[in-house]
Amino acid sequence: MENIKIKQRTNWKSRILNTLQEIGKSLQFPIAILPFAAILNRFGALGLSYTSNTTPDGVLHITNHIGYWISFIIQKPGGVIFDNLPLIFAIGIAFGLAKDHRGEVALVGAAIYLVISAMLGEHGIGNMIYDKVLTFKAADGNFSKLLYVENYKGDVLQNGKFVLSIGVLGGIVSGILASVLYNKYKEIKLPKALSFFGGRRFVPMIGLACAVPVALAFAIIWPWLQYVLMLMGKQVADPSKASVAIPGTMLYGFLNRLLLPFGLHQILNTFFWFQLPIQGNHIDPISGSSDGIIHWDYGDINAFTAKNENAGLFQSGFFPVMMGGIPAIALAMIMSAKKEKRNEVAGFLGGVAVVAIVSGITEPIEFSFVFLAPALLLVHASLTAIFVGITTAMRIQVGFGFSAGIIDYLVSFPQAWGFSQHHGGIWKVISNPLMIIPLTAICAFVYYSVFMILIKKLNVMTPGREEEGVEVEEQTSSSKQNSTSYDQSNKYAKQAKMIFDAIGADNLVSIDNCATRLRLIVKDNQNIDKALIKQSGAFGIKQLGTEALQIVIGPDVEHVVNELKKISN
């Protein structure tokens, strides 16, 4: 009886981990569209700010027609993505969580979100419920309500509209609901007279019906949660409130890296980057002039794109770490490798270090040590928290569309410069985005020194430090037999074949991927040949529960996925 209980508990844990892995993976679909959208939006917005101006009465004046329309054409394709992020998340999550990844479920996800959004809009059911609740006189004598979102110009109340901004969370909920209904009812059979509405045609109907009670639940519960989140955003997302902002962003930075091996950092990021309410004036790039109106923007990436003066605190600290710290870890592993293996290790770690500097994709390097020595992961998370705290204390505000690499640094520079000019005084120097460069150098030195000492002190078997014969002893007879049989010209096909053989055809259930990892579901993730997977060129392996399996490949993971799907079919 005891054994049965243990097995049931394990299966329950596996289901939770599998679900979280699926959600984390699905978040990559909408996030993948952001990098290029951010580039277009920021460069286009920079041009618009210099070719037009808006008078206090809201009239647009174009000062350079050719420049304005060129900037308009550049900015709009990127801006519309950020304006419709919740809808994009609803579509992407629905598609990602559907078992067969068919397009119908994305349509249902979009429809559910549009229904919920319409019912919660201005003069919607939220206003019906709370219109007479918690009313009071504001300091300026205007009638106000606690749960209203209020904008001010200076100290003058501009409006007090009841705004339920469920934001990206609403899109995620819509996408999850659509996928659950789709997976459950896509093969439903109805009586013959209604058979036309059976199967996948049934899903939109049940989806729209379910959207109504979900919207009602949001209308009742979300105003209070939104109010609490706004209070949180006012404190944590404000560089002038260092006593709260510094520990708040440090905790975020620490958890962001600590959750990385499990792939759960994406769920944490989604809240801070796309949902957390941030309040502030909108600031022009370069010049730093303010529009004088207090706005609410939702999520740190959205707020930075909207030019909110308090944006960027949950992004800036990653630039020194990803452009300096992570490449320094790679250098430490190269220099601590045995001399005869150093060139070989430098061959693959050097390449991914360059990728980290340019694009901010760091997982291949991090997975080279996180499972070999969990203590190094704790050190890495702690150092990340420290540098996030430093950039917050210095009020450096640099944003990204994808990750903290050179590309995003250059794209965000004009807006970050505008923030520093807006701060004025000594902060023009301290918060200047150019300060990222010396911070990156300092971060690289600290990371290199700490990791060189710890790798040798703890005798961590990072690449090139393995004892002779250990890898051979770890290999199963299967991997020994197959190790000389993979001489295909296509390196991705070769890698996929090795991984497929290591897992076993009868063991593989489903194949997916995110930015750098294979995300697999297998019948038993203990029944795999780890040595053969490592031999294929994988940077790391993570087993979640008894069924979920993640294999770190790198930014070219999609090519391996395509080959693996060909083999498995």
Residues labelled catalytic: 514
Residues in the chain: 569
How far, in Å, CA of 294 to CA of 274, rounded? 19
Q: How far is 330 from 448, CA to CA, in rounded Å?
A: 9
Q: Would you say 537 and 563 are in contact if contact means Cβ atoms under 8 Å apart?
A: no
Q: Residue 520 is inside which H or E element, if any?
A: strand 517-522
Percentage helix, strand, coil, to 5, in the chain? 60, 10, 30
Q: What are phi and psi of 296, to 5 degrees?
A: -110, 125
Contact in structure between 160 and 135 (CB atoms under 8 Å): no
Sign of CA dihedral 230, 232, 237, 240: positive
| Number of neighbouring beta carbons within 10 Å of residue 111 | 19
Cα–Cα distances (Å) from 164 to 85, 221, 225, 398, 556, in that order, read 16, 10, 10, 28, 40
Give the single-character DSSP code of 467: P
Nearest partner of 501 among 524, 478, 517, 484, judged by Cα: 478
Structure tokens at 559: 């090519």
Write out the E strands in 162-281: 277-280
Give the number of other CB atoms < 10 A from CB of residue 11: 13
Burial class (CB in 10 A: 0-12, 13-18, 19+), 464: buried
CA distances from 125 to 175, 214, 219, 228 (A): 22, 12, 6, 20
Q: Checking DSSP bridges between strand 156-161 and strand 540-544, what pairing results, if any?
A: unpaired
